[in-house]
């Protein structure tokens, strides 16, 4: 019974995340500004833009949400996080992790990841103080750049299908117009697509590796999530050591040998509670 409730919640979490991602993407692609008018809070609720804009209300909202249920920003609101989950879904990552018995990294890998996260966060903060915003590492900016430089030109190309057709017919001057419209910044488009492709490859290979190795926002939220009011715990007396939760955890933060979960890396996806046959993973303080 409880397992089914968690299953439902895990599906709802993903559906909500995908709807957010689609709505946010639509706000970028809609030139009329209509969609942005429907969901003005979608951009405002993004962590780095809120921090840079000094939006106290949004920051307090995100911090309180994290202190309540962990990295909910990473599971529902962050476009890059949901994008990684979608990549994992379509590349059958969950199935592969179960089939090939994925395990969390050992102490050496964990230490490397920890030091990398800390170094990137310190570099990110130092860059901010010096006025150099490392926006290539801001998850919202990474996704926004991909949409702006790669998807927007495609939409524009569709809107100017008449010019493309004219060019195909050999009409004079149309070729230049089509190039101007479709690839106004091909270098930026290539860079934005490469970054996203790299993150997608990591997600297909090993779930939220980008989130738990590189992303400075994830590192900040993870430090708070450790103290979250509701976070997953393993009941050692009910656990039978089947390791199902350990394998399907997209953040690879469950360590069944010691019956522990690294709450700094957990992205509150609920999958572990949904999959546990013994109902041994509960959410509590």
Stretch that binds ligand SF4, among 116-124, 157-165, 167-175, 234-242 (CB under 6 A): 234-242
Helices (H), 147-264: 152-159, 161-168, 174-182, 186-206, 209-213, 216-225, 244-248
Q: Is 249 in the site for ligand SF4 (CB under 6 A)?
A: yes
Nearest to 141 by CA among 205, 196, 185, 218: 196
To ligand SF4, the closest distance from the beta carbon of 269 in angstroms equals 4
Residue 276 is a binding residue for ligand SF4 (CB under 6 A): yes
Please give the size of the binding site for ligand SF4, defined by CB under 6 A: 36
Burial 46-72 (b: 16+ CB within 10 A, else e): bbbbbbeeebeebeebbeebbeebbbb
Identify the DSSP state of 151.
I
Q: Which of 45, 144, 234, 264 binds ligand SF4 (CB under 6 A)?
A: 234
45 binds ligand SF4 (CB under 6 A): no
Distance CA 189, CA 149 (A): 5
Q: Which is nearer to ligand SF4, 58 or 80 (CB)?
A: 80
Token pair 């957990």 is at which residue?
266
| Min dist. Cβ of residue 82 to ligand SF4 (A) | 8
**Distance in angstroms (rounded) separating the CA atoms of residues 265 and 42:** 24
Give the residue, chosen from 14, 45, 139, 189, that forms a contact with ligand SF4 under the rule CB under 6 A. Answer: 139
Q: Toward ligand SF4, which CB reaches closer, 192 or 281?
A: 281
First to last CA, the chain: 22
Q: Which is nearer to ligand SF4, 80 or 189 (CB)?
A: 80
Q: Which residues bind ligand SF4 (CB under 6 A)?
A: 74, 78, 80-81, 139, 211, 215, 217-218, 232, 234, 239-245, 249-251, 253-254, 256, 261, 266-272, 276, 278, 280-281
């Amino acid at each position: 019974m409880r397992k089914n409730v968690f299953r439902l919640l895990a599906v709802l979490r993903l559906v909500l995340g995908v709807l957010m991602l689609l709505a946010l993407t639509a706000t970028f692609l809609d030139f009329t500004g209509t969609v942005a008018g429907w969901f003005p809070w979608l951009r405002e609720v993004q962590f780095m833009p809120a921090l840079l804009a000094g939006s106290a209300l949004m920051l307090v909202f995100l911090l309180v949400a994290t202190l309540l249920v962990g990295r909910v920003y990473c599971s529902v609101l962050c476009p890059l996080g949901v994008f990684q989950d979608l990549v994992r879904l379509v590349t059958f990552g969950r199935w592969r992790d179960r089939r090939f018995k994925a395990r969390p990294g050992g102490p050496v890998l964990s230490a490397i990841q920890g030091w990398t996260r800390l170094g990137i966060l310190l570099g990110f903060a130092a860059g901010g103080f010096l006025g150099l915003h490392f926006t290539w590492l801001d998850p919202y900016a990474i996704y926004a750049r991909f949409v702006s430089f790669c998807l927007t030109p495609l939409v524009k190309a569709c809107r100017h299908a008449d010019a493309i057709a004219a060019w195909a017919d050999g009409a004079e001057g149309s070729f230049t117009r089509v190039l101007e419209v479709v690839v106004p910044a091909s270098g930026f488009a290539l860079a934005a697509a490469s970054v996203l492709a790299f993150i997608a490859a990591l997600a297909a290979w090993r779930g939220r590796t980008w989130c738990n190795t590189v992303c400075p926002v994830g590192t900040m939220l993870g430090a708070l999530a450790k103290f979250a009011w509701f976070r997953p715990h393993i009941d050692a007396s009910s656990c039978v050591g089947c390791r199902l939760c350990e394998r399907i955890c997209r953040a690879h933060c469950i360590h069944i040998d010691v019956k522990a979960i690294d709450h700094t890396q957990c992205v509150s996806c609920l999958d572990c509670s949904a999959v546990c046959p013994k109902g041994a993973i509960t959410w509590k303080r």
